[in-house]
């Protein structure tokens, strides 16, 4: 790994432009892999600046593709950049970049959804959770097709301090479709408030940095793109298991236009739904007629704490899924109808 030094000494030597590389290796964008390239190095530099100081940093870049953002990360002074790319067509171009930045760029041909980032960096960079974030950043112009499952899985990792967060409070700077970026950062009562807003904001400080117009990408996507920065909180606002919080929030927001008791009721078996819902809302001191978008994180925390107590008292509650109850009811009905039909008809 390169020794510390002035940022200027990190700058890459002259290389073919990203556009030239795309032509050289005939890199047509694949729709299936959500490929929209950022070729304007001023924009990739701006995106990378949102991550903070990358001098001597370790960075994981998701989906480097033809390497525009990769160049900006290297130029910002990262000394250990690990890129994870699924599409083998980009590997030769990335190898060229790696030769231009000796010892600073590691290339993984793989899928970010299964890549074990907890094994990708030296243990020496670990920082205690309560202290400053480690000198490790995740940066990516994410493929739209994986951005939501990926951030949900990383939020779960944050809650459990696993994966990239085994090193401490690793910061993320990522792109999303503008609507998703708005949902991630939406405040209480805003139109975009959703499951994603609560899940992200109970675990992280989330900041919508800027919007990149769709026309800046090649090929141009139908939507604009938001750059979002996440810093995991030292103390999550809700201290219950991620899956339990996720279950409550999913149930609440499935009826986003109704009063919140409607979705909350679906946490409970039909036979005891009314009584359990009343108990939960009462003990959590949440007004049943509030709309899901009006609920603050302290409201969700109160609901999660009381629901966890109820699950401890009635262990079958945690695994209860109203869809499964509906499915079984439907099956019973079908069986009863079959029985009712006289034989031979």
Q: For residue 95, give both structure tokens.
A: 């190898």
| Cβ–Cβ < 8 Å for 227, 185 | no
Report DSSP letters for 245-285, one per residue: HHHHHHHHHTTTTS-HHHHHHTTS-GGGHHHHHHHHHHHHT
Residues 142-201 that bind ligand SAM (CB under 6 A): 143, 146
Minimum CB distance to ligand SAM smaller for 48 or for 238: 48
Beta bridge partners of 80: 58
Q: Among 30, 12, 150, 7, which Cα is nearest to 88's?
A: 30
Among 40, 45, 87, 314, binds ligand SAM (CB under 6 A): 87
Among 2, 12, 15, 33, binds ligand SAM (CB under 6 A): 33
Minimum CB distance to ligand SAM smaller for 152 or for 318: 152
Stretch that binds ligand SAM, among 80-88, 151-159, 257-265, 333-341 (CB under 6 A): 80-88
Looking at beta carbons, which residue is closest to ligand SAM?
63
Is 38 known as a binding-site position? yes
Q: For residue 211, give both structure tokens.
A: 């919007």
Closest contact distance (angstroms) between CB of 115 and ligand SAM is: 7
Minimum CB distance to ligand SAM smaller for 81 or for 249: 81
Among 17, 34, 127, 254, binds ligand SAM (CB under 6 A): 34
Residues 90-149 that bind ligand SAM (CB under 6 A): 90, 111-113, 141, 143, 146
Q: Which residues contact 16 (CB under 8 A, 6 or more apart)?
A: 24, 96
| Cβ–Cβ < 8 Å for 147, 176 | yes
Closest contact distance (angstroms) between CB of 126 and ligand SAM is: 25
User: Which helix (H) or strand (E) covers residue 157, if one does?
Assistant: helix 144-160
**Beta strand segments in the chain, E:** 37-38, 58-62, 80-85, 105-109, 136-140, 171-177, 204-212, 217-218, 225-232
Is 110 known as a binding-site position? no
Is 184 known as a binding-site position? no
Q: Does 84 bind ligand SAM (CB under 6 A)?
A: yes
Binding site for ligand SAM (CB under 6 A): 33-38, 63-66, 68-69, 84-87, 90, 111-113, 141, 143, 146
Binding-site sequence positions: 36, 38, 63, 85, 111, 141
Binding-site sequence positions for S-adenosyl-L-methionine: 36, 38, 63, 85, 111, 141
């Amino acid at each position: 790994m390169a020794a510390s030094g002035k940022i200027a000494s990190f700058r890459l030597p002259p290389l073919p432009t990203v556009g030239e590389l795309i032509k050289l290796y005939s890199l047509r964008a694949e729709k299936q892999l959500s490929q929209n390239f950022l070729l304007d190095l001023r924009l990739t530099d701006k995106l990378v600046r949102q991550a903070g100081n990358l001098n001597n940093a370790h960075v994981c870049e998701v989906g480097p593709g033809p390497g525009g953002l990769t160049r900006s990360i290297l130029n910002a002074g990262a000394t250990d950049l690990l890129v994870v790319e699924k599409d083998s067509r980009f590997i030769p171009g990335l190898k060229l970049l790696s030769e231009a930045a000796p010892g600073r760029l590691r290339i993984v041909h793989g899928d970010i959804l299964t890549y074990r980032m907890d094994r990708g960096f030296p243990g020496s960079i670990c920082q205690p959770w309560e202290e400053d974030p480690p000198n490790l950043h995740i940066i990516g112009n994410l493929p739209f097709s994986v951005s939501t499952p990926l951030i949900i899985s990383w939020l779960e990792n944050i809650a459990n301090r696993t994966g990239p967060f085994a090193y401490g409070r690793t910061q993320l700077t990522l792109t999303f479709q503008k609507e998703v970026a708005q949902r991630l950062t939406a405040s209480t009562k805003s139109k975009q408030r959703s499951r994603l807003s609560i899940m992200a904001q109970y675990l992280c400080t989330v900041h919508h940095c800027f919007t990149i117009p769709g026309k800046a990408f090649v090929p141009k996507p139908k939507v604009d793109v938001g750059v979002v920065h996440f810093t995991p909180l030292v103390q999550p606002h809700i201290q219950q298991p991620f899956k339990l919080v996720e279950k409550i929030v999913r149930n609440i927001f499935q009826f986003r236009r109704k009063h919140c008791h409607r979705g909350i009721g679906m946490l409970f078996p039909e036979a005891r739904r009314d009584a359990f819902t009343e108990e939960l809302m009462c003990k959590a001191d949440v007004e049943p007629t509030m709309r899901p978008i009006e609920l603050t994180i302290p409201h969700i925390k109160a609901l999660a704490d009381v629901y966890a107590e109820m699950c401890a008292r009635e262990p079958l509650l945690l695994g209860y899924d109203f869809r499964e109850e509906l499915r079984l009811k439907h099956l019973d009905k079908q069986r009863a109808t079959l029985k009712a039909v006289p034989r031979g008809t």
